[in-house]
Structures are given as structure tokens and as C-alpha cells.
A and B are shown apart, each in its own frame.
Chain A
Amino acid sequence: MAKRDQGGQGCGEALPLGELERRLIDAFQRDLPLVPHPFAAVAESLDSSEEAVIGALSSLMDEGVVSRVGPVFAPHKAGASTLAAMAVPPERLDEVAELVNGYPEVNHNYEREHRFTLWFVVTAPSRERIDAILADIERRTGIGVLDLPLVAAYHIDLGFPVQWS
């Protein structure tokens, strides 16, 4: 029986996922039909009911197992974006992270175990705006920013297969 990890993200007890919940995660990461009653269409293919499907998705969201149900956008198609990295000394990490997070154009920021400690994604309407933000961050922190824009994407986003065992 697959269970959510214990103790993660403040969830104390493990929660067994029901058969319908698992099948929704396995089969509907990419093919929610674009029809007037999408959940009824899903229910039909799973031999269930619209009400049960909506109920199962709502509880998966309440439990935090599912972040959302809807479209996944390709960020770089709707403007410009880059991945940026900075080698921030540990004693300055919190200060620099806060400064970087202060830009609304920064939508992901991770600390990673590496000489380059800070990794963030900048998304803006234009490449010029990204150049300006990166230059501004360099000027304000005195730390160089590695600019790693996308050259090519090789994955096909089909969702993510979960191994339940």
C-alpha cells in the first residue's frame, strides 16, 4: 500500500491513497479532456461517477498530494526567462536570497549543495528586462550572476509516473 511519506511538510500521519485517487494520478496528468464536463468524461473512462472524481480530486488537493488540476504552461513560451546561479558565501546566503526574492520576476529560488549555492529562475516580458535585473542584482550584491538561458529543451512533458510500491 503506497503511503505518503511520514513527517514530510508537517503531515503527521501517512495517508493511504484509494484506488480511484491513484488511477487519477496515473492516467490524468496530461489528458484531462477539453470538453464541457471534463470530470464526467474522466469518470466514464474510470468507471466511476463525476461526483466521486470531483470528490477524490478535492481531497487529494486538501491533503497536498495534488498541487492543482489544470493547465501546465511552458514559461519560456510566454516571454523570456533564464536560470541564474550565484556563488554566495554561506554567511551572506539569507541576505542575498531575500534581495533576490524581492524581484517579482523571480519565481523560483532554491538553495543547492554546491559552490553555486543560489539557483533562481527569472521570467520577464523581454530579454532586455532580464539583463537589467541580473545587472541590478550583481551591482547590489557585488556577486557575479551566472546567466544560463535555455538553448534547447529535450524532454517531453507527459507528467510524472509514480511508482506506488
Chain B
Amino acid sequence: MASNPMDQFTIVPIVPLEVAGFDISFTNSALWMTITVVVSSLFLLLSIRSRGTIPTRGQMVAEMMYNTVANMVRDNVGSGGQPYFPFIFTLFMFVLFGNLLGMVPGSFTFTSHIAVTFAMAAIIFIAVTVIGIAKHGTRFATLFFPHGAPLWTAVILIPIELVSYLSRPVSLSVRIFANLTVGHVILKVIAGFVVALGVFGIVPLAGLVAITAFEFMIAVIQAYVFAILSCIYLHDALHLH
């Protein structure tokens, strides 16, 4: 294990690859994305294998995840949200399993990289904007001016709303990136204390156990928040506030 708590985030190429001048090497990040896809798909496929009317334990978990996201889409996107359910579900599972697999010792957490989280946030942002404009045309601009406000306030409100709208992908991506990065750094730093303190390392070790549990909670919450904010943005695009 590296002693520098930042080393766990280093991207290491596994299979160097270059296409049209772009470096698209298969790295440890790509490996864990692949593992995430395989594990989340296999988990769901195996747990719903029996397709029983009376569900098995695994099936209960899979159906719970399905219902959680289905309710999230129904409550936050509202009418017309059904076509986006598979996307939101995929997003939730991808981030959730990415976060959780990142808790495996020695693994790599791709969701702790701003490049990945910002790419996801940007795709959601662009998609939501395109959907909004395609659905409402120029009326989409009313998203930046609250209905019923006095006209003269437009001078203040429109820049504020515009900034808040444009900052969405930034806040969405930085939130998860920062949470995951800081969590893993803290784990690594305190783990360093355990080793350094020898016998008395039992004290930080106890703390480490608690923080590990806390990080599992963060992993789930951040996945949930990421998916639910995507739903809310989608709602704005579909219904304009």
C-alpha cells in the first residue's frame, strides 16, 4: 500500500491504447468501470433469475432498487418521466456500484475523479437542456424568470437564475467527487495512524471502523443524490418549474 494518501487516486494504464492521436488506454479506472458493469448486471440478473411470484432475498433487493428508482422518477420527474427511467436507473446503479466497489480495499474508485463525474454531469446537463428546448422551444427561456415576478426584477433574477442553472453540472459533479475523494483520503490517513501508533493504534482503528461504516453510507447517499438531482433537472426541463 502506498503511504501517500493521494496515491490511491493515481490512474495507471493497464493496456496502452491510442486511437487517432487520442490516448484511450485501458486503465485501472476503466477496469473498475468494467467490473462495476459486470457486478451490477450479474447481481441483478442472478437475483431475479427465479422471477418468483414469492421473491427470494436477492430478488427482494433487486425489486427494492427498481421500486426506489421508479418512485424517485415518478415523484421527482412527474408525468412524462417514464421514458427516462432506464437511464436514471442505470445512472443510479453505475454510481452506486462504483462507489461501493471503491470501498473494497485495494480497489479504485472511478467516481472520485472529477473527469468522470463532470462528464456524467455534463451529459445530463446537455441532455436536459436539449430535452427542454425540444419540448418547449423558446418558452424554455421562462425557466430563467420566475412566473409572476415584477418585470423590473428581471435585471437581477435572470443573471441569478442563469448562473444557478449553469452551475448545476459543476455542483453535481463536484459534490460526488469531493465526497468520495475526501472519504477515501480520511480512511487512508487514519489507517496510517493505526500503523504509526503501534499498540495504541487500536484507538484510531476503532475510529476507522466507524468511518468505514460512514463511508458506506456516503457511497449510497451520493449515488441517490446524484440520481435524484438528475430527476429534478429533468423535471425542470419537462415542466418548466
- Whether A associates with B in a native complex is no
Residue numbers of B with Cβ under 8 A of A are none
Residue numbers of A with Cβ under 8 A of B are none
